[in-house]
């Protein structure tokens, strides 16, 4: 009985946090892409698009911060970028975050782009491609 009460209180707390987030118009979405193979130094390859699982929740919102991660094979360095239809942001490491995409509509599809830094005798597989997009209400829409 005591566990049921504690569980219920926990669920109420989680629900209150969700309502508070919705009231402020902020949220986040997570997307992953399948593994990707890169073989050439001079020819970048693009991942599958990364989009919000429920675009309706991101509509009318803008990106604030984007976190990313990917896993290259041990000892392999790649040129990596996080892109949208209007351009790309270079990624300095396999994991990190950026505000360079802040202000873009939060439902904008993103994709990774990779090329090898050095010639390799084999094809390189990049795994664990993921973005987390934090977004908030577009305040410029309120002032118009």
pLDDT digits 0-9 by tens, 73-124: 998 889 999 999 999 999 999 999 999 999 999 999 999 999 998 877 778 9
Token pair for residue 24? 């402020």
Report the CATH number that the domain containing residue 114 is assigned in CATH. 2.60.120.260
0.85 cut: is pTM over it?
A: no
High-pLDDT (> 70) share of the chain, %: 78
Token pair for residue 96? 């990190």
What's residue 15's pLDDT?
A: 40
| Within-domain flag for 121 | yes
| Within-domain flag for 7 | no
| Within-domain flag for 59 | yes
pLDDT digits 0-9 by tens, 1-20: 544 434 443 443 434 333 33
Q: Which domain holds residue 92?
A: 27-142
| Within-domain flag for 12 | no
- Per the structure, the count of domains in the chain is 1
């Amino acid at each position: 009985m005591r566990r049921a009460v504690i569980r219920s209180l926990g669920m109420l707390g989680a629900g209150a946090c969700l309502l508070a987030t919705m009231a402020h118009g902020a949220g986040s979405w997570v997307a992953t892409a399948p593994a990707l193979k890169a073989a050439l130094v001079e020819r970048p390859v693009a991942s599958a698009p990364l989009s919000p699982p429920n675009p309706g929740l991101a509509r009318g919102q803008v990106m604030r911060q984007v976190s990313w991660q990917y896993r290259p094979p041990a000892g392999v360095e790649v040129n990596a970028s996080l892109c949208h239809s209007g351009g790309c942001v270079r990624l300095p490491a396999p994991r990190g975050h950026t505000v360079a995409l802040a202000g873009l509509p939060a439902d904008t599809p993103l994709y990774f782009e990779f090329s090898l830094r050095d010639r390799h005798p084999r094809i390189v597989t990049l795994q664990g491609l993921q973005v987390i997009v934090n977004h908030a209400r577009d305040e410029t829409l309120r002032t118009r």
